[in-house]
Amino acid sequence: MSENKKPIKAGIIGWPISHSRSPLMHRYWLEKYGLDGSYDPLAVRPEDLEQILRGLAGQGFAGVNITIPHKEAAFTLVDEADDAARRIGAVNTIIVGETGRLEGRNTDAFGFITHLHETLADWRPDRGHAVILGAGGAVRAIAVALIDAGIGRILIANRTAKKAQQIADDLGGTIDVVLWEDREQALAGAGLLVNGTSLGMVGNAPLALSLDHLPQSAAVYDIVYAPLKTALLEAAEARGNPVVDGLGMLIHQARPAFEAWFGAMPEASAELRDLLLADIDGDPA
Interface residues with ligand ATR (CB under 6 A)? 134-139, 158-160, 163, 197-199, 205
Which residue number places its CB atom closest to ligand ATR? 136
Which is closer to ligand ATR, CB of 139 or CB of 249?
139
Alpha helices in the chain (DSSP H): 22-32, 49-54, 71-77, 83-88, 108-119, 137-149, 161-171, 231-238, 247-262, 270-282
In whole angstroms, the minimum distance from the beta carbon of 269 to ligand ATR comes to 26
**Annotated catalytic residue: which of 71, 162, 163, 229?**
71
Taking the mean position of all CA atoms in its chain, how far away is CA 41? 18
In whole angstroms, the minimum distance from the beta carbon of 200 to ligand ATR comes to 10
Pair 127, 256: CB distance under 8 Å: no
| Cβ neighbour number for residue 15 with a 10 Å cutoff | 16
Which is closer to ligand ATR, CB of 113 or CB of 138?
138
Give yes or no for a cis peptide into 69 (omega within 30° of 0).
Answer: yes
In whole angstroms, the minimum distance from the beta carbon of 123 to ligand ATR comes to 22
By CB neighbour count within 10 A (0-12 exposed, 13-18 middle, 19+ buried), where does 87 fall? buried
163 catalytically annotated: no
Which is closer to ligand ATR, CB of 23 or CB of 136?
136
Taking the mean position of all CA atoms in its chain, how far away is CA 59? 27
Name the residue type at position 32.
K
In whole angstroms, the minimum distance from the beta carbon of 249 to ligand ATR comes to 11
Which is closer to ligand ATR, CB of 136 or CB of 256?
136
User: What are the catalytic residues?
Assistant: 71
